[in-house]
Amino acid sequence: MPVYRYPVPPASEITPKSVFLNRRAFMAGAAGLALAGASGTARAEEERQKLATVSSPLSTDETPNSYEDITTYNNFYEFGTGKGDPAKNAGSLTTRPWTIEVGGLVNNPGTIDIEDLLTKYTLEDRIYRHRCVEAWSMVIPWAGIPLASIIDKFDVQGSAKYVAFETLVRPEEMTGQNSTFPILPWPYVEGLRMDEAMHPLTILAVGLYGETLPNQSGAPVRLVVPWKYGFKGIKSIVKISFTEEQPPATWNMQNPREYGFYSNVNPNVDHPRWSQATERRIGGGLFASRIDTQMFNGYGDQVASLYEGMDLKKYF
Ligand SMILES: Nc1nc2c(c(=O)[nH]1)N[C@H]1C(S)=C(S)[C@@H](COP(=O)(O)O)O[C@H]1N2
Ligand SMILES: [Mo]
């Protein structure tokens, strides 16, 4: 299994939150306005935590969407199916204490504590393009940790070919898990091939705009795989396991014709009910013109080699 290494920035490049925010505000007027919105947002969560991040060369230089856009237009069916439902309903989720159970084909099974993720790792400032399968997109400034550097510690066995992820099931706090006609089977589950999981672009995100994640964004920890459609980015993770067989993925099980296991952003492979050739960038206004969707969401230089020789129309 290939292990990817990347340069770790020196401590002198560590960016305190205030500097991060000022820099963003300076770089982009729109983002600056959004920050005013952020400070007014009520949180039924722990006190805000300052996240020190180092900037990553893997960030896009596109202007991030506003905090408002990113936190009020969400998909998180555990809290309802409307785009505004997670912002309305996710405040009820208790995100401390929180541990992720790690098991399956590893020599050191164990747990990951959210406090350790926040304090014992170098958090990287990763501004990524985010493309939903529903053909809208955003640019999001995450704070995250490369998944590879986290799973290394569990000593993954050579026979592991995939990583499986699971979201919390807690109907008392997750309104969408309470409904009489469940829209999805719970828990929400996802999976990656091992080399995708180890790729330096793949992160577990714990922060947004220099603060801990708001619940609607998948607090306290969620997956972000920027070259894949958004639904691969499973939220509020409680379990990670390593498997030999391809693990189940919620939308793929729900409708395999519409949602593949790989789900790489691909403008040449349409969703059966709509085109994937273009996307609507949220925040551009209702009548903003659509932009062309890029192969692998624009991350092709970094990830195309993972799929060399694969028929991406078959393995979509
Ligand atoms: N547990 C869970 N994770 C989830 C979802 C969900 O419904 N439940 N929705 C997915 C979909 S379809 C998308 S597009 C992204 C949205 O992430 P965002 O709300 O942070 O933009 O989360 C993904 N992760
Ligand atoms: Mo999505």
What are the pLDDT digits (tens) for 13-72? 445 444 555 444 444 433 433 444 444 444 434 445 678 889 999 999 999 999 999 999
305: closest CA among 264, 276, 274?
Answer: 264
Q: Residues 113-125: what's their mean pLDDT? A: 96
Task: Give the model's confidence band at 156: pLDDT under 50 very low, under 70 low, under 90 confident, else very high.
Answer: very high
pLDDT value at 106 more than 60: yes
Pocket residue to mutate for ligand 1, from 73, 170, 235, most atoms within 8 A of Cβ: 235
- Is the separation of the CB atoms in 135 and 280 below 8 Å? yes
Asked if the model's pLDDT at residue 149 lies above 70, the reply is: yes
Answer whether 75 contacts ligand 1 (Cβ < 6 A).
Answer: yes
Position with higher pLDDT, 27 vs 79 = 79
pLDDT at residue 47, rounded to an integer: 47
Answer whether 235 contacts ligand 1 (Cβ < 6 A): yes
The answer to whether the beta carbons of residues 75 and 104 sit under 8 Å apart is no
Give residue 254 CA to ligand 1 midpoint distance, Å. 15
Report the pLDDT value the prediction gives residue 314, as an integer from 0 to 100.
Answer: 97
Phi, psi of 195 (to 5 degrees): -70, -30
- The ligand placed nearest to the CA atom of residue 134 is 2
| DSSP code at position 57 | T
CB contact at 8 A, 96 and 114: yes
Q: How much is the average pLDDT of 195-205?
A: 98
Q: What separation in Å is there between the alpha carbon of 16 and the centre of ligand 2?
A: 31
Q: Region 177-183: what's the mean pLDDT? A: 89
pLDDT at 166 over 80: yes
Domains and CATH numbers, the chain: 13-307 (3.90.420.10)
pLDDT digit string, tens, across residues 215-236: 999 999 999 999 999 999 999 9
Angle at which helices 29-40 and 17-27 cross, to 10°: 130
Q: In sequence order, which ranges of the chain are alpha helices (DSSP H)?
A: 17-27, 29-40, 67-72, 85-89, 114-119, 147-151, 194-198, 250-254, 300-303
Q: Cis link prior to 220 (omega < 30° from 0)? A: yes
C-alpha distances in angstroms, 84 versus 88, 153, 174, 217?
A: 6, 38, 15, 12
Average pLDDT rounded to a whole number, residues 138-154: 97
Q: Please report which ligand is nearest the Cα atom of 129.
A: 1
CB of 226 closer than 6 angstroms to any ligand 1 atom: no
Closest C-alpha residue for ligand 1 atom 20? 217
Q: Which amino acid residue places its CA nearest to atom 21 of ligand 1?
A: 74
Nearest CA to ligand 1 atom 12: 231
Closest residue by Cα to atom 10, ligand 1, is: 231
Residues 6 or more apart in contact with residue 146 via CB below 8 angstroms:
6, 124, 200, 202, 203
Q: How far is the CA of 229 from the centre of ligand 1 (A)?
A: 10
pTM for this predicted structure: 0.88
- Quote the CA–CA distance of 131 and 123 in Å, as a whole number: 23
pLDDT at 287: 74
Closest residue CA from atom 8 of ligand 1: 76
Long-range CB contacts (< 8 A, 24+ apart) of 3-10?
A: 3/148, 3/152, 3/198, 4/148, 4/198, 4/199, 4/200, 6/58, 6/146, 6/200, 7/57, 8/54, 8/122, 9/54, 9/55, 9/56, 9/122
In degrees, rounded to 5, the angle at the alpha carbon of residue 295 between the alpha carbons of residues 294 and 299 is: 90
Distance from the Cα of residue 225 to its chain's centroid: 6
Nearest atom within ligand 1 for CA of residue 70: 21
